[in-house]
């Protein structure tokens, strides 16, 4: 089906089902129970899962397949956001023109940066992309203020042209009349599920993005990219120039990032320069590695994991901890909380950093590899046939 | 003329910091072949060494002074640092005053030990892994270190003043015959520049004029052969890692009065110092130093109003622009060695 073999079709269907039922799956605890704060099924967070999923899927097409580690992908995210907000300012709040423009502009931007950066590989490529992204960030903050609105961030004002808005036009972001913030809340017993249009809009795009990346992974083009990763020198010796392929991968992943940026702006019509900062580029690297670079599902898992951490784990404060350990004697309770305190709440970055290091050291394949190892533990026999497609092949990069 | 001179001077202190960090980074890369993204964190830890020492030295006990009263009419409590009560009024006060230079002595053993632990505990396992993995794991380590510092010292910058004697600035203009107060340069920045020259000189003479340094240089050129000659090169490289950490650390210690240490200063400097290393040429020590000063001065020139009016925003991007140009036209950097990190 859809040009996929049977196993991939099944895989895609599972992903689709998971995505569609996310509002239910992420809301496992009744809303009046003590664990309700671990529910992640609220629109804002679910939208982020989908959007950063797209960002990470795109990054994975570049890093996972070709091994080129870009430290400047956030630039495309920012460019996408700016383009979309500009469309809101000029036309109206319909997200479609904005998203299209975001993809086009970030694609062109990626073509330019990629054309220059891909002349070098290895660490030099990382530094070049980093330099370009930091340049864009600094410019967006200072000189390009007429376009980016500098520190305030770009937003829609009442005196903007908005030529298509009309008299009684919708004043929130919408897709042909369906508002992004429209939600339908279902109460099932003690559970409360929120079905948000914005989430489903992003989710459908994310599924399309996932499908496209699946096709790329299985295509001759994808195979060529893998060949670049495993031995670029040999490719060059056979008389084949690999640059067009890597450039194509770079542009595609830049467009994914632009799309993600456009969606971010669609959910909340704001764009700030900090979206282009190199910490944001670092975040997508973290997501991809944490989930499993070079695997299909890994980056999405990584994106979900980090966003869950950022929004849920960071809310565990001392009070919550006291609630959990109340059954212990006071001294022990305080001691445990004293130990845990730096790692939870505002210190969630610390836990994330430690987890990330552990993953890089012990689990180069990320969460996906962890899942496979656990599964193999129960099966007690390695199923090599099933693994080969999803596991990153450990091979030195061309520049080493 | 005086404007140009002023910009050169202004660029030198930032350039010194870039040069010192880049020197440490290159020492690690040249010896161990590891791309260390946690290097900015080492700089930050150095800066926080001076904060720590300043706090340790001003550790006080409280006494109630019956002769004074506070504004409520109660007997006032007076804080006396322990150092003052041990060494007397004058000596104690000046020890506290000089805590930043003293922190150099305090930080060197800490940084060397830290470097040892880092190399033996973590980096050692990554020699055989791809450079991407090295970048990633050290990036993770940088996040962890940064967050630990944030948890311990809070998120706000901590002012760490230099000794009082270096307060104020020196009027170069008068010395060179220009009008007064046209070129005034803060004393501490001058100290920082001279200090960086001393450190750079010390590192180079250590490598050039000692047997240990000779072996290390030989190891950088051809590790395998040195190993075959029966020299335990790994042990020396581990020491070099500690030394590189110490160089970066004391760069941070002395930088604390110029820029109040905060937890993300390391990351801010890391990106720039990588650019510096790449411009100088990966693995070339003189290149790193040269590029550090060069980029520092260039940055300060670009922030002149005369130039900003012609090309707006150039001060924000000059360093990256230079890096991109150099990487594309001279892939090996200014003074890069052949065969280092090339395809």
B283 contact residues in A (CB cutoff 8 A): none
ipTM of the shown complex:
0.82
Q: What is the CATH number of the domain that holds B156?
A: 1.10.3470
Q: Do A399 and B131 touch (CB under 8 A)?
A: yes
Residue B185: what are its φ and ψ, rounded to 5°? Answer: -130, 125
B326 contact residues in A (CB cutoff 8 A): none
β-strand partners of A154: A271
Is residue B111, in this structure, part of any structural domain at all?
yes
Q: Which of A64, A41, A71, A99 is nearest to A304 (CA)?
A: A41
pLDDT for A250 equals 96
Is residue B290, in this structure, part of any structural domain at all?
yes
Q: Do A134 and B125 touch (CB under 8 A)?
A: no
By Cβ distance, the residue of B139, B275, B316 closest to A142 is B316
Q: Do B131 and A278 touch (CB under 8 A)?
A: no
With beta carbons less than 8 A apart as the criterion, state whether B27 and B320 touch.
no
pLDDT in tens, B78-109: 777 787 778 877 777 788 888 888 889 989 99
Please report, in tens digits, the pLDDT of each residue of chain A (400 residues total). 677 888 888 989 998 998 888 888 888 888 777 777 788 888 888 999 999 999 999 999 999 999 898 988 999 999 999 999 999 999 888 899 999 999 999 999 999 999 989 988 888 888 889 888 888 988 888 888 888 888 888 888 888 888 887 777 788 888 888 888 888 888 888 888 888 899 999 999 999 999 999 999 999 999 999 998 888 888 889 888 889 999 999 999 999 999 999 999 999 888 888 888 888 888 899 899 888 888 888 999 999 999 988 888 788 877 777 777 878 888 888 888 888 887 877 778 888 889 888 888 888 888 888 888 898 888 865 555 455 555 555 555 544 4
A364 contact residues in B (CB cutoff 8 A): 133
pLDDT for B197 equals 93
Measured from the Cβ of residue A383, the count of other Cβ atoms closer than 10 Å reads 11
B328 contact residues in A (CB cutoff 8 A): 116, 119-120
Is residue B45, in this structure, part of any structural domain at all?
yes
What's the rounded Cα separation, in Å, for the pair A354 and B137?
A: 10
Give the minimum alpha-carbon distance from A252 to chain B in angstroms, rounded to a whole number.
21
What's the rounded Cα separation, in Å, for the pair B261 and B44?
A: 7
DSSP designation for B184:
E
Measured from the Cβ of residue B268, the count of other Cβ atoms closer than 10 Å reads 14
Tokens linked to B28: 């690690």
pLDDT at B128 over 90: no
A116 contact residues in B (CB cutoff 8 A): 324, 328
Give the minimum alpha-carbon distance from A108 to chain B in angstroms, rounded to a whole number.
19
With beta carbons less than 8 A apart as the criterion, state whether A290 and A355 touch.
yes
pLDDT for A4 equals 80
- Name the E strands within chain A: 154-155, 174-175, 178-179, 183-188, 191-196, 270-271
Give the minimum alpha-carbon distance from B131 to chain A in angstroms, rounded to a whole number.
7
Q: Do B147 and A122 touch (CB under 8 A)?
A: no
pLDDT at B176 over 80: no
With beta carbons less than 8 A apart as the criterion, state whether A59 and A303 touch.
no
Give the count of domains, chain B.
Answer: 1
What's the rounded Cα separation, in Å, for the pair B32 and B188?
A: 34
Q: Which of A123, A113, A118 is nearest to A73 (CA)?
A: A113
Q: Which of B284, B263, B6 is nearest to B144 (CA)?
A: B263
Is residue B337, in this structure, part of any structural domain at all?
no
DSSP B15-83: HHHHHHHHHHHHHHHHHH----TTHHHHHHHHHHHHHHHHHHHT-EEEEEEEEEE-TTSSEEEEEEEHH
What's the rounded Cα separation, in Å, for the pair B319 and B5?
A: 20
pLDDT for B340 equals 57
Q: Do B316 and A143 touch (CB under 8 A)?
A: yes
For A178, the enclosing helix (H) or strand (E) is strand A178-179
Q: B339 falls in which pLDDT band (50, 70, 90)?
A: low
Let me know if domain A6-276 sits in CATH 2.60.40: no
pLDDT at B343 over 50: no
A143 contact residues in B (CB cutoff 8 A): 312-313, 316
Q: B45 falls in which pLDDT band (50, 70, 90)?
A: very high
Is residue B125, in this structure, part of any structural domain at all?
yes
What's the rounded Cα separation, in Å, for the pair A306 and A283?
A: 9
pLDDT in tens, B11-44: 888 889 889 999 999 888 888 888 888 889 999 9
Range of the domain at B112: 2-55+98-329
Is residue B142, in this structure, part of any structural domain at all?
yes
Calculate the CA B107 to chain-centre distance. 12
pLDDT at B203 over 90: yes
Rounded to 10 deg, the angle between the A348-362 and A278-291 helix axes is: 50
Cβ-Cβ contacts under 8 Å for B106 (sequence gap 6 or more): B49, B52, B53
Q: Sign of dihedral through CA atoms A309, A312, A318, A321?
A: negative
Percentage of residues in chain B with pLDDT exceeding 70?
95
Give the minimum alpha-carbon distance from A113 to chain B in angstroms, rounded to a whole number.
11
Is B328 an interface residue toward A (CB < 8 Å)? Answer: yes
Is residue B80, in this structure, part of any structural domain at all?
no
pLDDT at B190 over 50: yes
pLDDT in tens, B226-275: 889 988 888 888 999 999 999 999 999 999 888 888 888 888 788 888 88
Average pLDDT of chain B to the nearest whole number: 84
pLDDT for A60 equals 93
Q: Which of B219, B296, B213 is nearest to B21 (CA)?
A: B296
Label residues B297-316 b or e (16+ Cβ within 10 Å = b): bbbbbbbbeeebeeeebbbb
Q: Do B143 and A347 touch (CB under 8 A)?
A: no
pTM as predicted: 0.85
Is residue B156, in this structure, part of any structural domain at all?
yes
β-strand partners of A155: A270
Give the minimum alpha-carbon distance from B323 to chain A in angstroms, rounded to a whole number.
8
> Residues B172-191: what's their mean pLDDT?
75
């Amino acid at each position: 089906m859809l040009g996929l073999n049977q196993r991939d079709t099944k895989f895609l269907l599972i992903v689709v089902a998971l995505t569609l039922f996310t509002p239910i799956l992420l809301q496992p605890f009744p809303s009046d129970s003590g664990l309700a704060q671990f529910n992640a099924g609220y629109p804002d967070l679910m939208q982020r899962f989908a959007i950063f999923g797209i960002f990470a899927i795109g990054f994975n097409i570049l890093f996972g397949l070709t091994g080129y580690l870009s430290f400047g992908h956030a630039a495309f995210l920012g460019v996408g956001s700016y383009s979309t907000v500009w469309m809101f300012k000029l036309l109206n709040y319909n997200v479609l023109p904005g998203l299209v423009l975001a993809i086009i502009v970030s694609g062109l931007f990626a073509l330019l940066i990629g054309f220059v950066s891909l002349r070098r590989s290895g660490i030099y490529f990382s530094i070049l992309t980093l330099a370009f992204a930091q340049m864009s960030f600094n410019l967006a903050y200072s000189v390009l203020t007429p376009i980016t609105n500098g520190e305030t961030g770009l937003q829609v004002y009442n005196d903007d042209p908005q030529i298509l808005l009309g008299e009684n036009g919708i004043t929130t972001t919408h897709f042909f009349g369906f508002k992004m913030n429209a939600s339908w809340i279902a109460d099932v017993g003690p559970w409360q599920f929120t079905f948000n249009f914005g989430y489903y809009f992003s989710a459908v795009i994310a599924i399309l993005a996932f499908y496209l990346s699946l096709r790329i992974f299985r295509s001759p083009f994808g195979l060529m990219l893998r060949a670049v990763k495993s031995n670029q020198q040999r490719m060059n010796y056979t008389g084949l120039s690999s640059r067009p392929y890597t450039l194509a991968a770079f542009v595609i992943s830049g467009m994914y990032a632009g799309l993600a940026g456009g969606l971010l702006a669609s959910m909340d019509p704001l764009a700030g320069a900090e979206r282009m900062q190199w910490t944001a580029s670092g975040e997508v690297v973290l997501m991809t590695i944490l989930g499993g670079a070079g695997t299909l599902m890994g980056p999405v898992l990584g994106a979900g994991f980090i966003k869950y951490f950022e929004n849920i784990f960071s809310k565990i404060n001392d009070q919550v901890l006291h609630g959990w350990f109340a059954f212990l004697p006071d001294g022990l309770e305080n001691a445990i909380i004293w130990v845990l305190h730096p790692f939870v709440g505002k210190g969630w970055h610390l836990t994330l950093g430690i987890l990330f290091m552990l993953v890089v050291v012990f689990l180069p394949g990320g969460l996906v590899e962890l899942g496979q190892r656990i599964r193999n533990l129960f099966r007690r026999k390695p199923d090599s046939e099933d693994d080969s497609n999803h596991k990153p092949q450990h091979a030195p990069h061309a520049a080493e | 003329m005086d404007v140009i001179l002023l910009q050169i001077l202004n660029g030198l202190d930032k350039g010194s910091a870039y040069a010192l960090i880049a020197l440490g980074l290159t020492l690690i890369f040249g010896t161990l072949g590891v791309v260390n993204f946690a290097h900015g964190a080492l700089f930050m830890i150095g800066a926080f060494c001076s904060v720590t020492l300043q706090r340790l030295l001003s550790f006080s006990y409280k006494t109630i002074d019956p002769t004074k009263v506070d504004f409520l009419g109660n007997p006032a409590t007076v804080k006396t640092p322990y150092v003052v009560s041990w060494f007397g009024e004058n000596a104690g006060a000046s020890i506290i005053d000089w805590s930043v230079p003293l922190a150099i002595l305090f930080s060197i053993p800490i940084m060397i030990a830290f470097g040892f632990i880092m190399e033996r505990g973590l980096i050692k396992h990554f020699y055989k892994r791809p450079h991407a993995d090295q970048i990633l794991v050290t990036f993770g380590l940088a996040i962890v270190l940064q967050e630990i510092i944030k948890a311990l010292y809070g998120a706000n910058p901590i002012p760490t003043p230099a000794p009082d004697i270096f307060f104020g600035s020196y009027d170069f203009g008068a010395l060179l015959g220009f009008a007064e107060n046209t070129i005034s340069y803060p004393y501490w920045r001058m100290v920082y520049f001279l200090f960086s020259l001393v450190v750079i000189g010390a590192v180079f003479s250590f490598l050039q004029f000692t047997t240990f340094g000779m072996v290390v240089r030989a190891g950088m050129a051809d590790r395998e052969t040195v190993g075959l000659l029966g020299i335990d090169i790994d042990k020396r490289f581990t020491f070099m890692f500690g030394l590189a950490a110490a160089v970066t650390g004391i760069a941070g210690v002395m930088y604390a009065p110029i820029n109040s240490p905060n937890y993300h200063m390391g990351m801010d400097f890391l990106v720039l110092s990588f650019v510096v290393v790449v411009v100088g040429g990966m693995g070339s020590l003189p290149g790193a130093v040269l590029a550090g000063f060069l980029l520092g001065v260039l940055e300060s020139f670009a922030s002149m109003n005369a130039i900003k009016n012609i090309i707006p925003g150039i001060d924000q991007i000059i360093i990256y622009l230079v890096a991109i140009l150099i990487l594309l036209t001279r892939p090996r950097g200014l003074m890069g060695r052949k065969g280092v990190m090339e395809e």
